[in-house]
Structure 1
Amino acid sequence: MALALTGCGSVSHALRGIDTSPAAVASPLVTAPLPAPPPAAEALAAAQTVVLREPFDWSAPEPFVVGDVAGAAVSATRAEPAAIDGGADAAPTPAASAALQEPAEAEQYDPWESFHERMFGFNRGLDRYLLKPAARAYKTVMPEQLQVVVANGFDNIRWVPRFINSMLQGKFSGAGREVSRFLINSTVGFGGLFDPAKDYWGIRKSAEDFGQTLGVWGAGPGPYLVLPFLEPTTVRDGIGMAVDGVMDPLAWVLPFFWDRLVMKVGDTVNDRALNYDLFQGVEETTLDLYSSVRHFYLNRRERLIRE
């Protein structure tokens, strides 16, 4: 049961980090398997986000779900963008720039699509019959304000991978923001339970991870991957999630499997509850959810590397 719950948030994570700026949006949710996305992309894009949730540590036996169909669709419609670094310190390497000049569709390499669709359906079933009921029960006893507090606490702890990857990508302003946010939120924000850095000083977190770092260094994404209990990813981003997992401070303070499992279940259920209503609408209005998740995940990753 706990294993399933930790894996049922993958789809939401896949879409959660989509950029909300109209200029960055390539297309909207795929409401049918059409060759070209509908023209409403700009409108939907305004509600998307570049916020990335916690990385999955593939080096540890911690079950994390890619089947979070709810999560992936939710990520596409969340409205708060993460800060994006610009300027010379944020420019990708020549190899990465050359790779990113190709059309977005060229990067949507899904050689095992039939297998992935079955795994996507499996993960979606986990969300429907395990995670969604758990989130609904959680919502009845936990007010939304407290859900936000819990999410802030988890997010504050995981500043280290964002800081290190900002440094590795040469985005020193982003690294500085992460240090500032951690110091402010850990003190004035009562251990990170509140986010005064954003609310009062306008300091937004960065969205960097090691998968993006590899992309900035010129590595291609490789095949798209959907596996049971895991977040949708690519070969490159899977390696990146493993490295980010090693940097996650929770792995340092909670070295035991069961402690980390309890934390992961709590974080996943809390996140699903926060996005419960939002995903409901996306799921009911999207005919081809698998294609939508894949499209948004791959294009969002490309945009993040460009930025």
Structure 2
Amino acid sequence: MAAVASRMLGLRVAGLLRAACVGPARASWSVPGVAPRPGVVWMPSRCGSSAAEASATNADDSFLQWLLLVIPVTAFGLGTWQVQRRKWKLKLIAELESRVMAEPIPLPADPMELKNLEYRPVTVRGHFDHSKELYMMPRTMVDPVREAREAGRISSSTESGAFVVTPFHCTDLGITILVNRGFVPRKKVNPESRQKGQVEGEVDLTGVVRLTETRKPFVPENDPERNHWHYRNLEAMARTTGAEPVFLDADFKSTVPGGPIGGQTRVTLRNEHMQYIITWYGLCAATSYLWFKKFLQRTPGV
């Protein structure tokens, strides 16, 4: 009897230890050869499984911690990249503006040289062929004074019209090129309405070299049949007029009374990199703060 009582006591102590590990959950066990006593319960041990679950949870938290750290690191890298892009863009804009203000040079005889001369002023001598005018439309007149005056306004007083592109036969080079003579309002697109502005005879002309351009999103396709050109496709324009794919924007001094208004060159390079810098560095700062609060400053035991 004493041996049985001792065995029963040992089993009861073991049961109490198991209860401490698993809490209030209970499972009744029977021991062969020993009659169960009222009030004595046996519970399966979960200490080992709890340790495994805790280890798995810690592993998941560690993986999540380093995974989420990718967000602020990536945002910081993109912000730094935009800083470098902004430096490059500012340098490019300064270079193009210096080209526009440079002294004119004679138009090179080799068209391949023009690839490195965009926005560079050149001089030519020859005469216009007004019978083959092309119209780039719709366009608004480039007027720096008006644009500065109306900066920030919701509405604008700009008038819609077209750029008149006219074949120009270069006497010295023996080739015909294309010259954007400038802006005319819509009511003056028809050359019959501006006969006084149709320059005759040989003239000396200064213009800015422009290269071909690709169609931007939402810009309509060119319509040679209607003589409506929405973007500068030099190959197609040259085929239509029989000229070489060489294009100049005539300067303002080429303007004559009743004719197109020259000087319609606009150096258009978007520089929005500062906005991107603020966005990416701001995202980096916000996500870094949240990551710090979540993983480095969390309450012990949570």
| TM-score grouping bracket, smaller chain normalisation | under 0.3
Q: What TM-score results when the alignment is normalised by the length of structure 1?
A: 0.23
Larger Rg: 2
Q: Which has the higher contact order (CA 8 A, sep 6+)?
A: 1
Instruction: Compare the two structures and name the one with the higher helix fraction.
Output: 1
Instruction: Compare the two structures and name the one with the higher strand fraction.
Output: 2
